[in-house]
Amino acid sequence: MPFFKELRRRKTGLKTEKTDKTDRPSNGSTDSNGSNGAVAPSKSSSTLNSVYGSSTPPSSIQPHQSTPTLATSKSQTTMNSLPQRPMPLSGVSNRSSFIGLNTPSINGTITPKMPTSAFAPRIISISDNSWVHQKVLLIYGQIGEALEKLLDGTLTVSHHQDNFPATIWPVNDSHFKALVHLTPGPNRLRFDFSSPKVVSNMTSVPAHSSWMSINFLPLINSPPLQLVILLGKDSPGTYDAVPERKQREGNNLDTAIRKFRMAAYLWQAFTGEQMYRHSFGRRCFRFEEEWQTGSLTFRDKEIGQMRNEAKVHVIRCDKTVKELRNLDIAQQHGNATRKGELFTIAMAAVKKHFKPVAGQKQYISLLLLDSHWDTTAKTITGHAALGGGSGEVQLAIFGSQALQSYPTSIEEVVPAFSDCTRTNTNFVANDCDESGSNWEAANIGIGAHLHETGHLFGCPHQESGIMLRDYVRFNRTFLCREPYSTRTKSPGLRLCLPKDECGWHRLDALRFKNHPCFRLPTDAPLNADDSIQVWPADNGNVIVTAVTGVAFVEIFANGDDICHAWIEFTNSNGQSGGPPRQIVLTESDLKARLPDEKKAKKLRITVHSVGQGFYDIEDFGMLVRSKSKTVKLPNGQLGYKGCKLGNSSQEGSQPQQVILETAHIQTKLLTSIKVYHGFALDGIEFLYEDSTSQLFGKKGGSPGGSEFSFDTRRGEILLGFYLRAGLWIDGLEILTSLGRRSGVYGNATGGSGHTLIPPRGYSIAGVSGSCGQWVDSFSLVITR
């Protein structure tokens, strides 16, 4: 008992002593809180402010801690202005550096932090709390603010909740670039800088750190870019590699899959950053993913870590490896007679594998694994660089001749683009004499395959960028310092800034902005009709209408294969009300955008709709001045023929034209339209109140036709037509001023859809076209 009494006495004394120390005012203090009238914040409050400073918006991940409400009076405010004892720092930005022990861990544990350093990494390419839609994000930044002395060192990226191993990236002249792996949802990231030239008092913890939150929202409502490796039916599943590579990492199918997947994520990171630089948001294509052993870090394979990563489909075609390699289709040979045959073989193989159905478009980038460097013939066999497609499949194909130089994981990106090992042409190709070293071979392989993928997304060759051959600088996107180049026989750039990198051309970005694979959740839904209508009009104007809106117009002078001038009608941040559905073009305005030496040449333009449709005007001047496009109405007014649908190519096809009597006789009233049709449109009969009628085409198809009546008591009139058309007119639907639709008469799924409604300020004066066995061309005649 005496022992317990003594123990209780000691506990009481300790508690009293601790309380006394806590409550005792400091020297010179007049307040029991010890701060000359200021209320000292609690430990949780000061910690929260120090980590999530008020100068930067709070992270999307915040600790669940409460901050006491501090009541402030006028007298208290006066007293707060008096000198105070030193307080814990608060209100520091997320770009703080920590000097001292107990720094915040990546898992979110919050502990006090000490004063900041000038060497904190500063992320330039993306702001805190941004939203992205790709698993691997490219970032660019600098060390500290504008430092007088440039530093080299390393940047360590620690990932959210340590769910991906920390990665290390070089810092050159105080600049850095890094690839950041993200998981769906909010990601809290830490960036640590270290350098032998910057000494830290404490070496046990990172001395110079920044924090950033990035929100990753995967997109699953957009069609994916499918990744495919194609093999011959007897292929061993290997690719060309030098003996050292085979020994170190192997050249089997598993390695090929990991390299191709990593290259695809580089495409995605590059494209997402480029779209952001073009002010179109962080748009990018997505991949079909599956739950599998991860490969974006080499550690995953070692420990069997499963992740959701891009799926690479492995397909065997019905040709042997020998048959594939005997096709003389090497793209660099102008005398190749069967260049397109390998594309045809690949197209047949992917169609058999994916089995696309109508309306389900597939976008596929394919690697030909059996490509082989023939050391005797000095050519790459079994290789083709092509991209395009039609119908339900858009396809890009490229060979595996440079695959050995690709990185297999994020950790290998910098080493791969820094490897100056000379290309040994006894085993592998020096493609186009631009792959003289391993890093240059990686440029050509990854970059040229991305070029062909651009083709499958609808991009033609451009005046600059990836679609020219700018991918020889693809490495600069991921490095700040470039190694020696055998292609230019010169040292690489000491510092690779964004202006030195390759990129997507502005016209490529404009195509991507509205592409189905690049759509964002905030984009408005599109009408299925992607067509464009062109209407010659008064005063030499040409009116262009599109249901989905007009995106941009490419301008070509006669002889130009590549576009150098264009007009874009889409706001970078999205216009209120969306893109314009009607624009007016004039010859003088279009030619003003061309260089002086080309202004006298014939003008060709291509109009692109937001819905990915396009319309070519081969000779703009002829369209404006052609008398065949004008019609004189019986009352003396001028009418104008819109663009023609159908080819007028049937045997015995004869031109026909009907000018509606309602267009020039005010007392006439159109009461109904009778449509004659079978599997195509045979004719249209316009019926009037006085029992007269006008027929365009002929009375074929189903006996008696199908009649659609207007509600004349409510003033309903003909607004326009929706047509299904290809080589001829498959079907027709009547549109009225009250928003009613008749439904499609004829073949409702034939050809493609086109909405014919006169531009604002014009009305329907008649119809024009031609008829053979059935109607094989059709256009509206409009008038003021």
Strands, DSSP E only, in 634-743? 638-641, 654-659, 670-677, 681-688, 693-697, 706-709, 718-725, 729-736
Q: Are residues 561 and 445 in the same domain?
A: no
53 within a domain of the structure (yes/no): no
Q: Per DSSP, what are the bridge partners of residue 314?
A: 229
Residues 618 and 650 in one domain: no
Provide the 8-state DSSP code for 40.
P
So what's the pLDDT on residue 116?
A: 61
Location of structure tokens 């289709």: 329
Q: What was the pLDDT predicted at 628?
A: 86
Instruction: Clarify whether residues 246 and 169 are in a common domain.
Output: no
Q: Of 625, 640, 670, which residue sits at a domain end?
A: 625
Identify whether residues 573 and 428 lie together within a single domain.
no
If asked whether residues 292 and 269 sit together in one domain, one would say yes
From 330, 288, 325, select the one nearest 308 (Cα to Cα).
288
For the stretch 170-202, pLDDT in tens is 999 999 999 999 999 999 999 999 988 887 655
d(CA 432, CA 378) in angstroms, rounded, equals 11
* pLDDT at site 147: 66
Are both 357 and 500 inside the same structural domain?
A: yes
Q: Which domain holds residue 295?
A: 225-516
Answer whether residue 678 is part of any domain: yes
CATH number of the structural domain spanning residue 610: 2.60.40
Taking all residues of the chain, what is their mean pLDDT, rounded to a whole number? 85
Query: Does residue 161 belong to any structural domain of this protein?
Result: yes
> Is position 106 within any domain?
no
Q: pLDDT (tens digit, 9 = 90+) per residue, 96-140? A: 444 333 444 444 444 444 446 788 999 999 999 999 999 999 999
- For the chain, how long is the longest CA-to-CA vector? 125
Residues 268, 401 share a domain: yes
Query: What are the pLDDT digits (tens) for 518-560?
Result: 999 888 888 888 999 999 998 889 999 999 999 999 999 999 9
Residue found under tokens 């015995």: 652
Instruction: Tell whether 554 is covered by a domain.
Output: yes
Final residue of a structural domain among 151, 185, 216? 216
Residues 777 and 706 in one domain: yes
Whether 18 maps to a domain, the answer reads no
Taking the CA atoms of 606, 608, 612 and 616 in sequence, report the sign of the dihedral they define: negative
Residue 509 lies in a domain: yes
pLDDT tens digits along 700-753: 988 999 999 999 999 999 999 999 999 999 999 999 999 999 999 999 999 999
Confidence of residue 33 (pLDDT cuts 50, 70, 90): very low
d(CA 260, CA 227): 8
Do 413 and 389 share a domain, yes or no? yes
Same domain membership, residue 569 and residue 507: no
Q: Regarding predicted confidence, which is higher, 207 or 566? A: 566
Q: Are residue 203 and residue 276 in the same domain, yes or no?
A: no
Q: What pLDDT does 577 receive?
A: 62
pLDDT (mean) for 83-105: 39
pLDDT score for 146: 60
Instruction: List, in order, residues 6 or more apart from 323 with CB less than 8 Å away.
Output: 232
Scan for tokens 């970005």, then name that residue.
509
CA distance 210 to 141: 11
Domain endpoint, select from 516, 546, 571: 516
109 within a domain of the structure (yes/no): no
Determine which one of 309, 434, 452, 661 is catalytic: 452
pLDDT at position 52, please? 34
Q: At 328, is the pLDDT very low, low, confident or very high (cuts 50, 70, 90)?
A: low
pTM of the model as a whole: 0.83
Query: How confident is the model over 623-644, as a mean pLDDT?
Result: 91
Q: Do the beta carbons of residue 195 and residue 151 sit within 8 Å?
A: yes
Per residue in 368-420, pLDDT (tens digit) is: 999 999 999 999 999 999 999 888 999 999 999 999 999 999 999 999 999 99
| Beta-bridge partners for 316 | 231
Same domain flag for 442 and 295? yes
Cα–chain center distance at 278:
11
- Please give the order of strands across the beta sheet that includes 693-697: 693-697, 681-688, 670-677, 706-709
Can you tell me the distance from the alpha carbon of 292 to that of 284, in angstroms, rounded to the nearest whole number?
23
Q: Tell how strand 614-617 and strand 603-609 pair up.
A: antiparallel
Contact between 656 and 650 under an 8 Å Cβ cutoff? The reply is no
For the chain, how many structural domains are there in total?
Answer: 4
Are 782 and 535 in contact by the 8 Å Cβ rule? The answer is: yes
CATH value at residue 716? 2.100.10.30
Lowest mean pLDDT among 203-212, 376-385, 602-611, 769-778: 203-212
Residue 575 scores a pLDDT above 50: no
Contact yes or no for 766/777 (Cβ under 8 A):
no
* Residues 649-680 pLDDT 10s: 899 999 999 999 999 998 899 999 999 999 99
The helix, strand and coil proportions of the chain, stated in percent and rounded to the nearest 5, come to: 25, 30, 50
Residues 6 or more apart whose Cβ sits within 8 Å of residue 220? 286
At 334, list the tokens.
């102008």
Determine whether 452 is an active site residue. Answer: yes
Structure confidence at residue 11 (pLDDT): 45
Are 167 and 179 within 8 A, CB to CB?
yes
Please state, for a pLDDT cut of 70, what percent of the chain lies above it.
82
pLDDT band, very low/low/confident/very high, at 642 (cuts 50, 70, 90): very high
CATH number of the domain that 193 lies in? 2.60.40.10
Q: Is 643 helix (H, G, I), strand (E, B) or coil?
A: coil
pLDDT at residue 81 tops 50: no
DSSP string, 503-554: ---HHHHHHHHTSGGG--TTSPPPPS---EEEEE-GGG-EEEEETT-EEEEE
